[in-house]
Amino acid sequence: MNQRIMLALGVAVIVSALFIAKLPAHSQNTAKPNTNSQNQTDSKPQESPAPSLPPMAETPKTGSMAPDFTLTDMKGKRVQLSSFKGKAVVVDFWATWCEPCKIEMPWLVDLQKKYGPQGLQVLGVAMDDADDQAIQEFARKMGVNYPVLRGTEAVADLYGGLDGLPATFFLDRSGKISDKAMGLESQSVIEDSIKHALGQKQEDPAAGEK
Catalytic residue numbers read 101
Q: Does residue 147 bind other proteins (CB under 8 A)? A: no
Mask: binding to other proteins, 27-46, rule CB under 8 A, as x and -? Answer: xxxxx--x---xxxxxxxxx
- Considering the complex, what minimum distance in angstroms separates the CB of residue 158 from other proteins? 16
Which one of the spans 115-123, 164-172, 188-196, 200-208 is the region binding other proteins (CB under 8 A)? 164-172
CB atoms within 10 A of CB 123: 22
| 207 interacts with other proteins by CB under 8 A | no
How many angstroms separate the CA atoms of 210 and 124, rounded? 22
- Cα–Cα distance, 96 to 42 (Å, whole number): 24
Residue 126 sits in the site that holds other proteins (CB under 8 A): no
Looking at residues 63 to 92 of the shown chain, list those that interact with other proteins (rule: CB under 8 A): none
Q: Contact with other proteins (CB under 8 A): which of 73, 132, 157, 163?
A: 163
Is residue 157 part of the contact set for other proteins (CB under 8 A)? no
Cβ burial, residue 23 (10 Å; 0-12/13-18/19+): exposed
Please provide the size of the chain in residues. 210
66 or 127: whose CB is closer to other proteins?
Answer: 127
Q: Own/partner pairs for 109-115, CB < 8 Å, 24+ apart?
A: 109/142, 109/143, 109/144, 109/145, 109/146, 111/190, 111/191, 111/194, 112/145, 112/146, 113/145, 115/88, 115/194, 115/195, 115/198
- The rounded distance, in Å, linking the Cα atoms of 175 and 84 is 8
Smallest gap from Cβ 41 to other proteins, in A, equals 5
Site residues for other proteins per CB under 8 A: 1, 4-5, 8-9, 11-13, 15-17, 19-20, 23, 25-31, 34, 38-52, 54-56, 95-103, 127, 129-130, 134, 138, 163-166, 182-184
